[in-house]
Amino acid sequence: MPLNILFSAPVADWADYGPHLKAALAEAGVEAAVSPECPDPAKVDYIVYAPTGGLSDFAPFTRAKAVLSLWAGVERIVGNPTLTQPLCRMVDPGMTEGMVEYVTGHVLRHHLGTDAHILGQDGVWRNNIRPPIARERPVAVLGLGELGSTVARTLAGFNFPVMGWSRTPKSVPGVTCHSGEDGLEAVLRQAQILILLLPLTDDTRDLLDARRLAMLPEGAFIVNPGRGPLIDDEALLAALDAGRIAHATLDVFRVEPLPPGHRYWSHPRVTVTPHIAADTRAITATRVIAENIRRGEAGEPFLHQVDRDRGY
Ligand code: NAP
């Protein structure tokens, strides 16, 4: 009997994902019918899930063996009381590449002071302000998981002195790794460019509050492609208004889409990008989904299973 797989993501994504998912399942040797339609939840074996697909009650999916998220961040589903099945988050090589490029682009932009030249080309030859070289600019990455550790290694490859911070002690080549509350303070005090790649959990919500923002060196830059609520918005706006934080590149927000009247849109020290730092790529992500379904059927442990207690 072929497996029944429900694709529970925005309908518009089906045209991209459908053919790749079918091909990846065939490649993995999994016989399955995949559909964005769900006439009978009790007959579904696996759910491919995005929070934007509208599914919130998992109770009727009595036969489902796992929920396979297309998103890396699972804060919108991890505490769902109807979800009793194993939950796996997305670790997608295509997404990781996208994140490395997004962060590297914005870090180099801030490091080189590119905005001053792009926005200020007014016929005046100002050659008195020159950027330091990377080895003179300490950067820090909060979160050393799939994305953060790859970003940190890449920035170390540009010669930035890179510090990283995680919940448990980590070792990443070329990166000075810290953990715990003391470790966070040590990292923040030196970080001229701070990158947030933490998941949103009870422990990380509002992590960057007024007290911790004040630990950053004067004129620091922030790049946040992690999650909006990692930062206390009012505290950040106050630090930006005062010029203590030189600029924040923000990709994620407490409310998305960011409401039209939000101060971030018009703040001269803020760059808003609309949650596009690193999209899941259908061609690579469907291989991860197919491999997890193969594992489920073979009785092998799932890849990237979320720890519900930890929240990520
Ligand atoms: P991951 O592999 O689960 O890594 C999470 C990292 O954060 C780990 O190093 C973990 O520490 C650390 N961490 C978690 N809680 C912590 C705490 N309380 N204190 C200190 N460190 C803590 O996640 P990932 O795949 O790298 O993704 C990170 C996040 O990026 C996602 O959760 C999502 O929110 C965001 N994201 C955004 C986009 C976008 O387009 N903007 C795309 C993809 C992902 P340990 O190593 O000790 O466990």
Active-site residue identified among 137, 178, 227, 287: 227
The Cβ of residue 306 has, within 10 Å, a number of other Cβ atoms equal to 20
Residue 178 backbone phi and psi in degrees, to 5 = -130, 160
- 56 with 128, same domain: the answer is no
What's the chain's average pLDDT?
97
Sign of the alpha-carbon dihedral angle for 170, 280, 134, 188: negative
CB 221 within 8 A of CB 213: no
CATH number assigned to the domain comprising residue 21? 3.40.50.720
DSSP 8-state symbol, 65: -
Range of the domain at 111: 94-272
- 74 with 106, same domain: the answer is no
Q: Is residue 112 part of a domain?
A: yes
Q: Is residue 305 part of a domain?
A: no
- 120 with 52, same domain: the answer is no
Residue 129: band (very low, low, confident or very high) from pLDDT cuts 50, 70, 90? confident
Q: Is residue 312 part of a domain?
A: no
- 268 with 148, same domain: the answer is yes
- 115 with 175, same domain: the answer is yes
C-alpha 267 – ligand 1 centre gap (Å):
27
- 101 with 31, same domain: the answer is no
The number of distinct structural domains making up the chain is 2
Residue 309: exposure state from Cβ atoms within 10 A (0-12, 13-18, ≥19): exposed
Could you confirm whether 267 is annotated as catalytic? no
The Cβ of residue 27 has, within 10 Å, a number of other Cβ atoms equal to 13
C-alpha 11 – ligand 1 centre gap (Å):
28
Active-site residue identified among 167, 205, 244, 275: 275
The partner residues of 8 in beta bridges, in order of sequence, read 49
Sign of the alpha-carbon dihedral angle for 74, 79, 82, 83: positive
Q: Is residue 303 part of a domain?
A: no
Report the nearest atom of ligand 1 relative to the CA of 96: 43
Sign of the alpha-carbon dihedral angle for 304, 183, 103, 158: negative
Q: What is the mean pLDDT of residues 163-186?
A: 97
Residue 31: band (very low, low, confident or very high) from pLDDT cuts 50, 70, 90? very high
Q: Is residue 310 part of a domain?
A: no
Could you confirm whether 167 is annotated as catalytic? no
- 123 with 243, same domain: the answer is yes
Q: What is the pLDDT of residue 170?
A: 97
- 141 with 290, same domain: the answer is no
Q: Is residue 34 part of a domain?
A: yes
The partner residues of 111 in beta bridges, in order of sequence, read none
- 15 with 74, same domain: the answer is yes
Q: Is residue 87 part of a domain?
A: yes
- 59 with 189, same domain: the answer is no
- 100 with 80, same domain: the answer is no
C-alpha 204 – ligand 1 centre gap (Å):
10
- 149 with 257, same domain: the answer is yes
- Opening angle at CA 284, ends 280 and 290, nearest 5: 105
Q: Is residue 307 part of a domain?
A: no
Q: Which residues line ligand 1 (CB under 6 A)?
A: 72-73, 91, 95, 143-148, 166-168, 170, 197-201, 203-204, 225-227, 251-252, 275, 277-278, 312
Q: pTM score, two decimals?
A: 0.97
Render pLDDT for 61-104 as a digit per residue (tens, 0 to 9): 999 999 999 999 999 999 999 999 999 999 999 999 999 999 99
